[in-house]
Structure 1
Amino acid sequence: MMKVEIEESSGFCFGVENAIKMTEEALKSGEEIYSLGHIVHNEVEVTRLKNLGLRTISHDEFRNLKNRKVVIRAHGEPPETYRIARENNIDIIEATCPIVKSIQKKVKDNFEKSGKDVQNLIFGKREHAEVIGLLGQTEGKSILLTGIEDIDKIDFSKPADIFSQTTKSREKYAELIKQIRLRYEKGGYRPGEMLKVNNTICGQVANREPKLKHFSRQHDVIIFVSGKKSSNGKMLYEACSGVNPSTYFISDTTEINKQWFDKVSTVGVCGATSTPKWLIKKVAEKIQMLDSKKD
């Protein structure tokens, strides 16, 4: 019989879990509850909450909404969103992750203190909700770096402070910082004086990467469960597939291919910080069921 094991740390991170709980609690009132954007980057969980009554709206729809209750998801929002809410008498259900909230404050305070003299650098994914929220803290005056290919946007004759989206890879952040320091050095500046590094990658997310790598090495096949729009999912999937080539990305049980498990002894099931534990368990049960049918 094939052994199917779930990686114990997989499932929602604290911030997402808190946002889901707050949303479920609000829905119990029977009132119309809206989410500004998908509450989580997982299509299956979004559908579950939709069936409970949650209505997802875009930012354009939000601008025209009045006198309603709206959930601000874990990714956070820029100040502009709160201004619109005040003007339209919208009751905000604040579910921004506390870690994201503290980074937003840090970016804002840093920008207000340093002004035009210091460049604010944000390492993150373009158009990601959390990144939009961070850029909004500096009135859009921060420099977005999606990777090393963007470092020419930096003026290396001026000092800079760098922050990261919470769900980025620590390795990629470290490599970006290394390249920026080298460029300052090349220009005749002392990197330690010119670049202030803020360690804003979430510890819970960062610690999951080595755990998943270790888990992936221990199994013949890895089934990675995540929404297709999840940045964290993409990063963690790459971590798993990097150490185990027999890693398969799925979003739901319908995508499981029984041929993946031919002549396989052990299967590991894991997922992103935006993947609900119930879905990971459902996937593991389906794989076990397919195996029992072979006997």
Structure 2
Amino acid sequence: MAELIRISQGLADALARWLEHLRAIDGAAGATLTAYQRDVQGFLAFMTEHQGESLGEAALARLRVTDMRAWMAHERARGVSARSLARALSAVKNFAGWMAERDGFDATAILAARAPKYRRRLPRPLSEDAAKAVIGTVELQSDEPWIAARDTAVITLLYGCGLRISEALGLTADVLPMGDSLRIRGKGGKERMVPVLPAAREAVRAYVDLCPIQLAPGAPLFRGKRGGALNPRLIAKAMERTRMQLGLPASATPHALRHSFATHLLSAGGDLRAIQELLGHASLATTQAYTAVDTARLMEVYQSAHPRA
């Protein structure tokens, strides 16, 4: 709150309206809005100190590229990574661009600022054999048959449907009996339909048959030992024990199964945009980052699809 006090009420109100716009129009998730608010407030607080005056829209419009560089140097000096700074700059530009479109605000200096370069960490999917081995081994991590079946069902949904762990654990008993597809509510409340493979349906059915807890409509499908909603840390621990047993690297996490889903579909000839829809990505670039396809594979697709004479 201290950062909001340092800026003009008009600018504080503009920030609040921008965040509401992102929530209502773009469907931004709560965590995303919190990160954006923190990043922009930090930027405005720095510029207030840097300019030595209460920061309003007029003062913001007078910023120069050198002021933007000063802010980025300050952030790097206090230990902010290049990746995090690039994310913060993106939020600041988004806010300034919204103001420019809405109020005729001159955002030239802000929009011209260049993000620091960083090496994007590419996800590491499992091989097809490793993914199958994980599904076949995770049940060995518990002596209780229903818990073993539960963990197998969750892991199978992550790999077989490309679900996020939060999406799998967010399923309720209303999906039972599980059919050929699932309606998934993903980030930002966006819904998508995903097909369910027979192996995934069978894994869920096996868990339901063994589960000693009544799975009432509207209640969580996957339960912990005491009957509450399953904690994702328990799946992470089961995955950790599984990868150690199989000798897989530390990158073999529950989320890596989602990466693997996308990569294996693309390697089998799946359409990138169709995979984007299955994953629930707003941007095709995000889907591309999830797919570990080498240059040879891309050239193979090009040569087979290009309408050459």
Please indicate, yes or no, whether the TM-score normalized by the shorter chain is above 0.5.
no
Please state which band the TM-score falls in when normalised by the shorter chain: under 0.3
Higher relative contact order (CA 8 A, sep 6+): 1
| Bigger radius of gyration among the two | 2
Question: Could you tell me the TM-score, scaled by structure 1's length?
Answer: 0.22
Question: Could you tell me the TM-score, scaled by structure 2's length?
Answer: 0.21
> 1 or 2, which has the higher strand percentage?
1
> 1 or 2, which has the higher helix percentage?
2
